Amino acid sequence: MNIEKTTSFIKKTLSYTKNTALLGESATEYWGYYFGNRRFPRNQKFYVVYTNIDHTIPFLPNSARDYWLINFELIPTVIKLGDTLAGRFFDDIRHAYVDIAKEGRSCFREVPTIMPHFATHSGYALRAVQTLLKPVNCCPSLHTATPLFFYNLGARYFPEKEPELRQYIGGVVSTVIKTKLHALIDIAFGIFLSKKTINDKLGLEFYDLESFFTQEQRSKDNIPYEHIYRMYHDINELAGTQQGEEGKLPKIMERYFQEIGLPRVKREQSNCLYDLEQKTLVYPTDLKVGQGLL
């Protein structure tokens, strides 16, 4: 009996180690794509994604503490997927995960976007983020696309974990909005990218959590998630009319930006928001040009 238990333990340990190594390899590749396109020519123009609707949402810099820790909460579920699913499908999942970063990089390169920074705040965790990262490559939000991708898989294969995973997703999205690390339109395109990956790469049904966000999560943080989902549905509708090269995500994104009138500015002019009603750039005194090492 002891031999059987020992053998079983060794097999589980080897499986866990293998899956952890495979995930580590995929994560390295993922972040390589993410960080591989953060340098732009000095005269580069960026789409302004921060709008008057975003600016009505209170800025809560202390929420950024969650930014550094929140993604670690998903690791046990992801490793459990490797223990549960057949090797080939787990490989499909890993490749789809990396494809999210590849799609994001294509958008970042072809349709550069930028956010402003807030001029003054005392949030040390947020200051660390802003010191490290320039506020570029905002759209689509990979902080939305990737967790929602793994939520869909976790909720499907471990339904008992669904309530916990749902709350986790709510926390991720709420955090990046309240800390002004992402605009609402970034979230909408992040949801769309997650849906596209789940549908096209894995052939699975996608759960977009619209009811959860527009009801339960909205009651917690008062963020206008209904506006995010209006954009998400508009993006889906636009994507359904495009074919070939025009159906690729960067093309869809740029066409949507142009349809709603988002302007482009150079980085040194990015301490602004776009007023969707007045169709003009506004330069509030509490916004500044974002800095960052990377």
| Number of separate helices (H) and strands (E) present in the chain | 13, 7
Query: What average pLDDT does the segment 128-154 reach?
Result: 84
Helix (H, G, I), strand (E, B) or coil at 38: coil
Q: Which of 44-53, 57-66, 125-134 is most confident?
A: 44-53
Query: What average pLDDT does the segment 84-103 reach?
Result: 86
CA pair distance 178, 102, nearest whole angstrom: 26
What are the Cα distances from residue 194, in Å, to 18, 28, 93, 202?
26, 19, 12, 11
- Mean pLDDT score across all residues of the chain: 85
Residue 273 vs residue 27, higher pLDDT: 273
The percent of residues in the chain predicted with pLDDT above 90, rounded, is 59
Query: What average pLDDT does the segment 264-271 reach?
Result: 96
The percent of residues in the chain predicted with pLDDT above 70, rounded, is 78
CB contact at 8 A, 73 and 168: yes
Give me the amino acid identity at 148: L
Give the range among 72-76, 146-150, 161-165 with minimum mean pLDDT: 72-76
Q: Please, which pLDDT band fits residue 72 given cuts at 50, 70 and 90?
A: low
Nearest 10 degrees: Cα torsion 177, 138, 36, 66: 0
pLDDT digits (tens, 9 = 90+) for 214-252: 999 999 999 999 999 999 999 999 999 998 889 999 999
Residue identified by tokens 């939305």 is 144
Q: Please, which pLDDT band fits residue 26 given cuts at 50, 70 and 90?
A: low
